[in-house]
Structure 1
Amino acid sequence: MKFCDECGSMMKSGAGEDHWVCDSCGNEIGRESDDSEWTTQSQVESEVVDVSDAEDKGLPTTTAQCPNCDNDRAYWYMQQIRSADESETRFFVCTECEHKWREDDH
């Protein structure tokens, strides 16, 4: 991986892969001989896994009463929805009916 000396953005391989090109500012530099081990990309066969019916959303769960179905478990996450000097808002998603509600920190 190489970073641009001009703007600090990550550089990518140029045409022919003999130089680096910055997408942000267009800066180009030649590639050094020891750069090749860091820039090779390997092809990895990937298998498509159907997770459409998986219950785990990758979010933490907590005890929270759903106002829609009275289930007592919910996924939760925090999100900044107001100005930066105000606290984040906690969102809940019911593990049963997937109803979404929020709880503002005061």
Structure 2
Amino acid sequence: MEFCDECGSMMHSEDGLWVCRSCGFEKQQGDDDADRMTTTEGQDTDSGPVDMSEVDDSEIGPTTRVNCPECGNDRARYEMKQIRAADESETRFFTCTECEHKWREDDH
């Protein structure tokens, strides 16, 4: 990863140059830069539903104020897990303290 010398933003690789999309600064890439680069382009970042059926409710952690979509109760236990790419936010898993309904919430 390369950062702009002018504004500090992350730079992008374009035709052998590092290009800052924030301020337009450009600089030549070094020979070893390509060896250090990785990309998530084309990778499947959605692993699908997560099965929480075998997790003991007592392991799901602290409670928070959130409305249950099933019964309307305003308290649920929650747990946060990194299930997508590392550069994306964590997914929040909730379990209603009243009816035990389980759901998840992602930032979009």
- TM-score band w.r.t. shorter chain: 0.3 to 0.5
Taking structure 1 as the reference length, the TM-score comes to 0.47
Taking structure 2 as the reference length, the TM-score comes to 0.47
